């Protein structure tokens, strides 16, 4: 059958329907259809005919019929504009205020229905309810509680916007997102007091996610450009790591390891490079073998900047699940062999997630000792003191 007959203006679907009907009813009705051996070949021929018809239908979906225009999406029932504009990149100072304009009066309470937000937003915002004008068509959020971070992504997804009269925004969740210029501070030395002690979920299995055990990370100032990361697990074990942040590089200086009489401090004679700043995906840092004063030997040091990732942690606010996202965290893949005095060599394979203005928010460690492989994962898990508050007290 020629294409023109299916694509004519009198209604292509009618012709196609007739063709399908004729094909399916040429033989016995479906109600008495039985695939006995003599009939099977005939029925297969019917299926082949139907396949040909359906292929013609597929070929004609794109027919250009001016009498049957393609459906168009509904226009938004609420006009929305944002400053900084969605998808823009701005200086940190230009992001200290986020202003959302609506062309209809809004219900301010609907702004609290949030599906996802970057962790830096609730950390920085003075009041998550914002400041509204009198006619409820403009709301302003001030990001002054915590400095707006350079080289960071800010995001919020509002999933319940509605007008003052109760009508919902008809295009679904509305996302605001922008980036700031500059080099991100991936290992802050002078952290705000609210981040000096952070709770992490501590998983000991690759598929663990129940967060039944925890670790506390305390960041301790260790000089002009250095900090200690002090870990304290639920079981009472304490470990520590010493880092240095140079203007253009991050370095690992050493660690505390062991418990009780087995405790020791390992300090490297030369710092181990983590990454240059800004971190460039695919860049690779290596270091020669070295031995510390306590006799520990390190071999095969390598640190590679992987693709950025945005790990999340889910909290519940007024019964609703909200994803806190550590947007575009810098990911480091680290490998090294460590031999301590009197112990077998440990082969470490680690992955770190570093978030601007916060530092470490996730870490996975695989260690092979002989034929035994251990795993642990630590995930930053900020929580809420109560379900009606969205403040920096999450971390307290």
**Cα–Cα distance between 230 and 217 in angstroms, integer?**
6
71 inside domain: no
Helix (H) or strand (E) holding 35: none
8 inside domain: yes
First CA to last CA distance, the chain:
74
- Helices (runs of H) and strands (runs of E) counted in the chain: 4, 23
Q: How far is CA 359 from CA 184, 188, 200, 363, in A?
A: 10, 6, 13, 11
69 inside domain: no
pLDDT digits (tens, 9 = 90+) for 337-379: 999 888 899 999 999 999 999 999 999 999 999 999 999 999 9
70 inside domain: no
Task: Say which DSSP state 162 is in.
Answer: B
Range of the domain at 333: 193-395
- Beta bridge pairs of residue 277: none
**Cα–Cα distance between 335 and 167 in angstroms, integer?**
55
Helix axes 12-25, 37-60, angle to 10 degrees: 170
pLDDT digits (tens, 9 = 90+) for 56-102: 444 444 455 556 666 767 799 999 999 999 999 999 999 999 999 99
Q: Provide the pLDDT for residue 44.
A: 46
* Average pLDDT of the residues of the chain: 82
Same domain, 21 and 154: no
**171: which 2 tokens?**
């295009």
355 inside domain: yes
Predicted TM-score (pTM) of the model is 0.78
84 inside domain: yes
Least Cα distance to 382 among 236, 239, 217, 161 occurs for 217
pLDDT > 90? residue 333:
yes
pLDDT digits (tens, 9 = 90+) for 14-48: 444 444 444 444 443 333 333 344 444 444 444 44
pLDDT above 70: percentage of residues in the chain: 78
68 inside domain: no
Q: How far is CA 151 from CA 180, 330, 353, in A?
A: 5, 11, 15
**170: which 2 tokens?**
């008809």
Q: How many residues does the chain have?
A: 396
Least Cα distance to 354 among 160, 152, 163, 209 occurs for 152
Q: Provide the pLDDT for residue 33.
A: 34
**Cα–Cα distance between 395 and 78 in angstroms, integer?**
36
Mean pLDDT computed over 280-306 = 95
Same domain, 247 and 342: yes
128 inside domain: yes
What is the domain count for the chain? Answer: 3
Same domain, 139 and 222: no
Same domain, 332 and 197: yes
Q: How far is CA 167 from CA 110, 160, 337, in A?
A: 11, 10, 61
Same domain, 202 and 289: yes
**Cα–Cα distance between 60 and 81 in angstroms, integer?**
40
Instruction: State the pLDDT confidence band at 120, using cuts at 50, 70 and 90.
Output: very high
């Amino acid at each position: 059958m020629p294409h023109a007959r299916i694509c004519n203006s009198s209604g292509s679907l009618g012709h196609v329907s007739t063709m399908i009907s004729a094909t399916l009813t040429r033989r016995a009705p479906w109600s008495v259809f039985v695939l006995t051996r003599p009939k099977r070949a005939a029925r297969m021929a019917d299926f082949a005919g139907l396949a040909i018809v359906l292929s013609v239908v597929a070929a004609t979906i794109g027919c250009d019929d001016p009498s049957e225009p393609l459906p168009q999406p509904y226009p938004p029932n609420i006009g929305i504009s944002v400053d900084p504009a969605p998808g823009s990149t701005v200086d940190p100072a230009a992001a200290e205020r986020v202003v959302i304009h609506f062309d209809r009066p809004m219900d301010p309470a609907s702004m609290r229905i949030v599906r996802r937000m970057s962790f830096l937003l609730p950390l920085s915002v003075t009041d998550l309810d914002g400041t509204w004008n009198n006619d409820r068509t403009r709301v302003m959020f001030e990001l002054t509680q915590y400095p707006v971070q350079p080289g960071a992504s800010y995001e919020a997804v509002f999933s319940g916007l509605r007008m003052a009269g109760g009508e919902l925004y008809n295009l679904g969740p509305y996302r605001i997102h922008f980036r700031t210029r500059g080099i991100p501070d991936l290992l802050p030395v002078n952290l705000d007091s609210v981040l000096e002690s952070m709770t992490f979920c501590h998983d000991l299995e690759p598929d663990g996610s129940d967060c039944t055990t925890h670790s506390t990370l305390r960041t301790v100032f260790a000089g002009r450009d250095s900090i200690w990361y002090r870990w304290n697990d639920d079981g009472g074990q304490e470990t520590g790591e010493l880092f240095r942040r140079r203007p253009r590089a991050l370095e690992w200086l050493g660690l505390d390891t062991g418990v009780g009489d087995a405790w020791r401090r390992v300090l490297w004679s030369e710092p181990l490079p983590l990454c240059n700043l800004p971190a460039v995906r695919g860049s690779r840092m290596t270091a020669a073998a070295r031995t510390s004063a306590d006799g520990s030997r390190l071999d095969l040091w390598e640190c590679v900047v992987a693709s950025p990732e945005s790990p999340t942690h889910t909290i519940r606010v007024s019964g609703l699940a909200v994803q806190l996202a550590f947007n575009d965290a810098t990911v480091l893949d680290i490998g090294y062999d460590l031999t301590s005095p009197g112990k077998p060599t440990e082969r470490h394979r680690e992955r770190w997630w570093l978030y601007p203005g916060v530092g470490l928010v996730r870490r996975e460690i695989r260690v092979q000792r002989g034929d035994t492989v251990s795993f642990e994962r630590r995930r930053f898990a900020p929580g809420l003191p109560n379900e009606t508050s969205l403040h920096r007290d999450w971390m307290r």
